[in-house]
Chains A and B, each alone.
Chain A
Amino acid sequence: MSSKPFEPNPYLPEYLQKLEIERHEQSLALSRRTFIKLTGLAGGGLVLAMSMGPGARQALAQTKSPAAEVTLNPYIQIRPDNTIVLYAKNPEIGQGVKTSLPMIVAEELDADWSTVEVRQAVIDAKLYGPQVAGGSTSTPTNWDPLRKAGATARAMLVAAAAKQWNVPASELTTENNVVHHVKSNRSATYGELAEVAATLPVPDAATLQLKPRSSYRLLGKRITGVDNTKIVTGQPLFGIDFRVPGMLFATFTKAPAIGAHVKSANIDEIKKLRGVKDAFIVGQQGDHIGFNPGGPAVGSGVAILASSTWAAMQAKKQLKITWDETNASSDSWTDFKAQAKVLAAKPVAAQVLGQAGDVDGAFAGGKTLDAMYTYHYVSHADLEPQNTTAWFKGDHIEIWTPSQTPQAAVDAVAALLGLPKDKITLHQLRGGGGFGRRLANDAVCEAAAISKQAGGIPVKVQWMREDDMTFDYYRPGGFHSFKASVDKGGKLSAWQGHFITVSRDGKAPMTAANIAPTEFPANVLANQRMLQSLISSRVPTGPWRAPGSNAIAFAVQSFLHECAVAAKRDHLEFLLEVMGEPRFTVADNLRALHTGRAANVIKTVAQRAGWGREMPQGSALGLAFHFSHAGHFAEVAEVSVDANKKVQVHKVWVVADIGPIVNLSGAENQCQGSVVDAVSTAMGLKITFEKGRVEQTNFDKYPLVRIDKAPEVDVHFVESNYPPTGCGEPAFPPAAPAIANAIFTVTSQRVRTLPFSAEGYTL
């Protein structure tokens, strides 16, 4: 084995890089003592080689499946009736991977999709490598391993037929669960061949022939979600739906001032209330303010266990808690804004994250402009409030949860309870939305701690909407102060970004509050400088759909439009000029921004939206581009604005280059949803806090967009031949600046705050 140190993919967000390193170390330890061989994957991830010995396959078959199913590898089982079970390895939170990942396996297996049943795989790094829903990484990191899993099983089925008929494997073809030998007009179903196939040697991965795109039968088609029938008939699927016999329903109440501790509470009174079975104070365990999916994260609070969710919620309302606020947050958003103004005025005092060329020279020789952009904190607001069911049984614990990071959840609970990891069984349930919120495992830790403290009673901890909104790992608020110059030829000649963000320790930005020194357009300009200043904060932050990008794109793409206006240039032409010659901005990195791919999506979206066409009075088109999660996305918004600042977003065109599409329906759904999410967030969503207390508690103060205000969304995929990349996040960032740029074109007023409602605009 090579002794080269493991390097996580530098283009993954920091929190996923950290998880990659942890998983890598665990996997190395595993590979030394188990049958699983791990191999490196381009991009830094880890994959399971399909190299299990027959003994291991047998063990797997015994533990994981009824006798009728023949296990060919951890992803594939074949039944005698020629139907197939495929295992979906990653958490499903609405991003569609429970459908799309098995489709990749099915394609190479040459499976008939109508015979496929998809099951959620067990959480087990030995069998599946990393199991995570984050960073739009499921498709790119699983593309090769899953294709190989399918191709391996197919090769074994072919080998079984070749053996049976005594013909060369090269003369055999496969289609829809059947192996054919055309010469002798013989055929056999996978169901007939599976038992023999399972006894044959696993072929070397290097000998596998993966299909060329031209022969795909399934990938790129529209396939409806595998759980859709269950969803439309209301069957139990989600975390909140789960129950075990004897289970109690619990609420957990943490402090309104984030990080405060319970001094005392009216526990005895609470215990007397109808339906209440137990109530107790839970002490802080670990750190719930910092975002750390793999660490204990229980805040100080009061647990109420009752015979129903409603009884627990009613009792919660009667709680009288005295809080010790010594170490609590006293943060104020009003104060943050004032601090940011002062910091923005002193760019010389800021930390220099990166610079190139002669910025000051270019400023001196051109026409300069400056502007400051502000964006508020936002909450994830998953429609299914956080919850977990846990059953502590002394020397082990069983957990049912819709976590986005189930393996890290096991780590967190192991550390919390002091149990070995193999004494923790975690069952993955469907998440009613994620958007990054369920990357954190605070609700999992609470349930584990409460079940243990209750003496081993199974407990479902159910957050109320108010708990969910007032304790979140929020998308951090922040500020961008820009200065740029355009030269005499109307060209963007220099760019300076001064990013003002939040820090817990005064040294580094909090999770998802950072910016890359090479963030666009720094990576395409000769003269650029990136500065950073910090504001102290204790309000928890974490990844929120398209972390960083979700606000950076608004600021950068709006200010670029300001530059185009200052240069008296057409925005489209100006943006294409900024991209320059087609090239990768990081040499030899297929996951880096490629200016040619960028220009292509920008031109294509302009064409589809009819850029430059005559628009009715009060209406305009706005354009923006953003590169994130290795996806190139350009969007145009058609917007009208009236004299009272009432905005209508009529239509948004999305053009994306994310390589080949796995499930066309799913990918399109993600883009449509991302744009609607972006309209919500841009127009009206904000979390504010004073004295460390979050001021929004429910949807009446957090106006998510409804169907009557949702735009029509036109989605087009370029489908280039680059490796496929993820689709859950990158369609989000360009929508807000596209709308803001359209508003400017209509009104000549520049919106510089997210949400726009903070500047008086309404939907």
Chain B
Amino acid sequence: MLSLNVNGQTLEVGEDVDPKTPLLWVLRDTLGLVGTKYGCGVGQCSACTVHLNGVAIQSCQVPAESAVGQRITTIEGLSAPGATLTAVQQAWVEEDVPQCGYCQAGQIMRATALLARLPKPTDAQIDNDMAANICRCGTYTRIRKAIHSAAAKIAKTGGAS
């Protein structure tokens, strides 16, 4: 039996689940948090990005058992249902970043972690972090713009939302 702290809640994972199952599949298939996406399974595309103690990681590469006792945040945990979106989520909507939208949860999770660490990132700093994530539709121009725009929003409101 695994006990995971996901989006501020303690969730029990049954004994039928192999504790070595990648966190990605426990989130999706066992806990029903399907916002985190499968793209490659080999740590290449980062569609599966979530936060472990605030740090962006590829959940397809982390066995669920090693996430026990750590703070896991998924895209569903950034803002409560129906509540105000975070600055990053807002910027993504305002800049109309998504095309198919499949990679965007992973992009948003990585961008959120980046802005928590570097509140006013340069283009080079954005490249350095965000190059981990593939967008097959090629929305990179807008991802960059949305990150700058979110940074400005956060600066204005005086803190990460």
Contacts and interface: CB of A to CB of B under 8 A. Distances in A.
Contacts of B143: 707
Interface residues of B, number: 63
A323 B42 CA distance: 27
A124 interface: no
A698 B42 contact: yes
B1 interface: no
A700 B96 contact: no
Contact of A433 (B33, B38, B78, B136): B136
A234 B102 contact: no
Nearest to B101: A231
A609 interface: no
Task: Output the residue of B100, B104, B128 with the most chain A CB within 10 A.
Answer: B100
Given A384-B37, A708-B131, A95 B44 contact: no
B145 to A, nearest CB: 11
Given A234-B35, A432-B101, A228 B141 contact: no
Contacts of A464: 41
Nearest to A92: B100
Interface in A134-152: none
Contact of A707 (B40, B92, B130): B130
B122 interface: no
B98 A228 contact: yes
A173 interface: no
A284 B104 CA distance: 37
Contacts of B78: 233
A332 interface: no
A307 B13 CA distance: 14
A274 B18 contact: yes
A675 B140 CA distance: 11
B67 interface: no
B74 to A, nearest CB: 7
B124 to A, nearest CB: 9
A707 B131 contact: yes
Contacts of B131: 706-708
A383 B47 contact: yes
Task: Output the residue of B33, B81, B140 with the most chain A CB within 10 A.
Answer: B140
A307 B96 contact: no
Contact of B99 (A235, A237, A670, A675): A670
Given A236-B34, A669-B99, A310 B29 contact: yes
Interface string B21-36: 1100100111011111
Contacts of B96: 222-225, 228, 665-666, 669
Given A432-B101, A670-B99, A710 B140 contact: yes
Chain B binding surface, main DSSP class: loop
Interface in A628-671: 665-666, 669-670
Contacts of A707: 126-127, 130-131, 133, 135, 140, 143-144
B70 interface: no
A710 B141 contact: yes
Contacts of A673: 99, 137-139
Contacts of A118: none
Contact of B100 (A94, A381, A665): A94
A672 interface: yes
A294 to B, nearest CB: 24
A272 to B, nearest CB: 15
Contacts of A755: none
B100 A433 contact: yes
B105 interface: yes
Contacts of B76: 233-234
Interface string B113-129: 00000000000001110
A460 to B, nearest CB: 10
Interface in A674-702: 674-677, 680, 698-700
A383 B45 contact: yes
Nearest to B77: A234
A461 to B, nearest CB: 14
A433 B137 contact: yes
Range class of the A interface residue count = 35 or more
A429 to B, nearest CB: 12
A94 to B, nearest CB: 3
Task: Output the residue of B85, B102, B135 with the most chain A CB within 10 A.
Answer: B102
Nearest to A713: B141
Given A95-B99, A96-B99, A431-B100, A677 B36 contact: no
B89 A700 contact: no
A708 B99 contact: no
B99 A233 contact: no
B35 A235 contact: yes
Nearest to B16: A307
A675 B16 contact: no
Task: Output the residue of A233, A307, A699, A707 with the most chain B CB within 10 A.
Answer: A707
A38 B109 CA distance: 48
B101 A676 contact: no
B108 interface: yes
A308 interface: yes
Contacts of B138: 672-677, 680, 705, 710
A465 B42 contact: yes
A67 interface: no
A75 interface: no
B16 A237 contact: no
Contacts of A712: 141
B18 to A, nearest CB: 6
A383 B100 contact: yes
Nearest to B127: A708
Given A232-B85, A704-B134, A707-B131, A383 B102 contact: yes
A672 B44 contact: no
B134 A699 contact: yes
A191 interface: no
A514 interface: no
Task: Output the residue of B92, B97, B135, B144 with the most chain A CB within 10 A.
Answer: B135
A240 B37 contact: yes
B68 interface: no
B37 A432 contact: yes
A249 interface: yes
Nearest to A381: B136
B87 to A, nearest CB: 11
A680 to B, nearest CB: 8
Interface in B47-105: 47, 74-76, 78-79, 81, 85, 89, 92-94, 96-105
A308 B105 contact: no
A383 B133 CA distance: 11
B149 to A, nearest CB: 13
B127 A232 contact: no
Interface in A93-132: 93-96
B142 interface: yes
Nearest to A669: B99
Contacts of A737: none
B44 A700 contact: yes
9 contacts: A222-B96, A310-B29, A432-B101, A432-B103, A465-B41, A673-B138, A676-B138, A676-B140, A706-B130
Given A431-B100, A465-B41, A672-B138, 18 more contacts: A231-B92, A233-B81, A233-B89, A234-B35, A235-B35, A275-B16, A310-B29, A311-B18, A383-B39, A383-B45, A384-B100, A432-B102, A433-B100, A465-B40, A669-B96, A699-B44, A710-B140, A712-B141
The 10 closest A-B pairs by CB, nearest first: A234-B35, A676-B138, A94-B100, A432-B102, A234-B75, A673-B138, A231-B101, A310-B25, A699-B44, A708-B127
